[in-house]
Every structure is written in structure tokens, then in C-alpha cells.
Amino acid sequence: MMLLMKAELAKIKRKGFLFLAFLGAFGVVAMQMVNYGVRKEWLMQQNPDYWQYYLLNIQSFIPIAIVLGGIILTIQITNVEEETNAWKQQLALPISKKSLYLAKFLVIFVYLILAASLLFLFTLMYGIFLDFKQPIPFLTIVKESFLPVLATLPIIALQLWISVVSKSQTIAITIGIVNFLLTYSAFSFPEWVPWRWPYLGQPLFNIGLGVVAGALLLIVGMYDFYRKDAK
């Protein structure tokens, strides 16, 4: 598996994955830099717990950033095979189709975790820069940065599945936009729909379901890819 992941990492070299992870994390905090830059006084009056309110503002953008990042990563990681029609060559090698699929998923997961770590760092840095003069809630920042990734796993697994098996990347992008719009408007829907999970309204429930449904979709996608003929 390590070898396969290394192969995947080699394929996505210079495809801007690192930049994308940076951009996603920085973008979320940059939104608040603009927000606090323009109207810090007003925002400070909204809630006496400055850190909590700041984190709440940050959190509202995290789900859409993860979903969009996941869409772009899943499309990029299948792009090499797509563009050069390399699926067949890939399958001529003595590696199992299932592990190839799993390796792609794991690489995306690693980059999402990397983005989450950067998000933690940027959130903390800008928070300190804002100088709230209140104790820093480290644990809350860690939770807020990393846990939404777990609750978004079903959407990521679904996008990878579509991206791998569909003939054209336009299908993956279009369904990606649907997922993104549903995530953005998640509060129109009842609590149980998957697009609300990344907001962590009920953390334990959302994360538990996220991991279980994500693993299920990963397995279904893996088997679908396994039994499909190479394009």
C-alpha cells in the first residue's frame, strides 16, 4: 500500500495539491481577515466570548471549503489516467484494482488532513493577531479544524467513485457542484441529511455516521471499480 501511495504521489507531482491544501485553509481564514478587517468593533460587540465568536465565524466556511477541496482533489487524482487513457496500463501491472482505488482515497485523505493542520495553524495565528486578551481554546480549535473532515468523508468517497467510473470529468464536476450547493444550503434541510454533517450540529452523531457512511461508500465504489471493464 505504501508503494501504491508513493506512485500516486508521484503522479500528482506539480499538480498543485500542496498549493490547494494551503489555499483551502488560508481561504477560510482569509474570509475572516476581511470580515474582521472591515468591522472588528461591531463583531466584538456580538459576543463577550471573543474566541468563541471568532471560531464560529471561521466554522461557517469550513464545510464548503472541504467539499470543494474534495471535489477538486478527486478530479485531479483521476486526471492522469483520464488524460492519457492509462487505466488499462495501470491494470496491466501486478497490482490489485482495489488497492489502487484505496491508495487514491488515502492520498486524498492525507491531503485533507494536511489542509486541516494548516487550518489549525492559520486559525490560531490570526486569532492571536486579533489580540482578544482571553485564554486560547486550543482544544476547540483542534476539534474545529480536524473533525469536519471525518463528517465529510461520505461526500468525498462519493466524488471519488463518480470521478473514477464516469467517462467524462464533467459529470464529476456537475455532481460536485450539486454537492457543494446542498452543503452551502444545508440548513434548508432536516438534521439527518449528509450535507449537514460537516457543520457538526451533533458532533458525535455526525462524525460516527460520517465515518461509517464514508467507509461504506468507499467499499461500494471500490467494488464497482473492480468489476468494471477498463476504459
Partner 1 sequence: MIGTLIKAEWYKLKHHHIYAILIIGPLLTLLIGMLNPMMGDMGAYHPWLSLFLFMNLPYALLFLPLITGVIACIICRYEHQAGGWKQWATLPVTRTQIYVSKLILIALLVLIIQMIYGLVIFIAGTVKGFDVVFPYWTVGKFIIGGWLATFPMIALQLWAAMHWRSFAVAFTINVVFTLPSILAINSERFGPFYPWAQPFFAMYVDESMSGMLFIPISQMLLVTGGSFIVFLVLGIATFKQKAI
* Least Cβ distance, residue 72 to partner 1 (angstroms): 5
174 binds partner 1 (CB under 8 A): yes
Evaluated on CA atoms 36, 139, 115, 171, the torsion sign reads negative
If we measure between CA atoms, which residue out of 59, 60, 69 comes closest to residue 155? Answer: 69
* Least Cβ distance, residue 184 to partner 1 (angstroms): 6
31 binds partner 1 (CB under 8 A): yes
Of 143-151, 153-161, 186-194, 211-219: span binding partner 1 (CB under 8 A)? 186-194
> Binder to partner 1 among 42, 129, 138, 189 (CB under 8 A)?
189
> Binder to partner 1 among 9, 35, 51, 91 (CB under 8 A)?
35
> Binder to partner 1 among 1, 14, 48, 83 (CB under 8 A)?
83
> Binder to partner 1 among 182, 202, 205, 219 (CB under 8 A)?
182
Q: What is the 3-class SS of 56-125, one letter each residue?
A: HHHHCCHHHHHHHHHHHHHHHHCHHHHHHCCHHHHHHCCCCHHHHHHHHHHHHHHHHHHHHHHHHHHHHH
CA neighbours closer than 13 Å in the CB half-sphere of residue 156: 34
- Name residues contacting partner 1, limited to 192-221 (CB under 8 A): none
137 binds partner 1 (CB under 8 A): no
56 binds partner 1 (CB under 8 A): no
In whole angstroms, give the CA distance from residue 20 to residue 214.
Answer: 22
84 binds partner 1 (CB under 8 A): no
27 binds partner 1 (CB under 8 A): yes
134 binds partner 1 (CB under 8 A): no
All cell numbers assigned to 215: 467507509
Q: Which is nearer to partner 1, 140 or 166 (CB)?
A: 166
Give the residue carrying C-alpha cell 471519488. 160
Is the Cβ–Cβ distance between 32 and 126 less than 8 Å?
yes
Angle, CA 175 vertex, CA 29 and CA 205 arms, to 5°: 60
Residues that bind partner 1 (CB under 8 A): 15-16, 20, 23, 27, 31, 34-35, 38, 61, 64, 68, 71-72, 75-76, 79, 83, 168-171, 173-174, 177-178, 180-182, 184-185, 187-189
